[in-house]
Structure formats: structure tokens, C-alpha cells
Amino acid sequence: MIEQRMRIRSSGLSWRELDGKIMLLDIRSSAYLSISGAGSVIWTALAKGATVDELVDVVTSEFDVTQQTALTHVTEFVDELNAKGLLA
């Protein structure tokens, strides 16, 4: 089974990393968002394109969590980004 590579939507978003936090503006919805902690690590990996397995690996390498805990956080975060229309 080939896992799909996910990416952050390239149009209508402006974002920067500041002091370990992701600050972004979704121009389509005029919404400002701030992402920190594991979310900022996941966001940065998604900006480069990543599979769920790669995101889990990034989270477990940065934080002292199990793969199952990382998978739960990754899945919830990716679902939230999808719901907000932030993924391509």
C-alpha cells in the first residue's frame, strides 16, 4: 500500500515560523491561526510533503511519546487541517 503524500495548500496562505510557533493567515477565510508544540512540527513536515508514517516518525523523534500516541495526534491534527481547508 502506497501512502499518500500530504501538503499544505499553496495558494491563499501566508505563514511563518516564529519562536517555534507557526503563525498563519488563511487569506480565503481571513482567519489568523497560531500553531505550537507538536502541531508546529507536523505543519513544518507537511509544508515539505509528508505521509502519515513520516509525520508519526517526526513527532516521536521530537517528543517523548509512543507511536500510537503520535498517530492519534497526527490524525486529529490532519483532520482539523482538512476541515479548515488548509491541505492541498
Fold held by 13-83: Arc Repressor Mutant, subunit A (1.10.10)
- State how far the Cα of 2 lies from the Cα of 62, in Å rounded to an integer: 25
Tell me, yes or no, if the pTM score tops 0.75: yes
Per-residue buried b or exposed e for 50-88, using 16+ beta carbons within 10 Å of the residue's own CB: bebebbbbbbbeeeeeeeeebbebbeebbeebeeeebee
- Beta bridge mates, 5: none
* Average pLDDT score over residue span 16-43: 95
Per-domain boundaries in the chain = 13-83
pLDDT for the residue 3: 78
Per-residue pLDDT of 44-74, as tens digits, reads 999 999 999 999 999 999 999 999 999 999 9
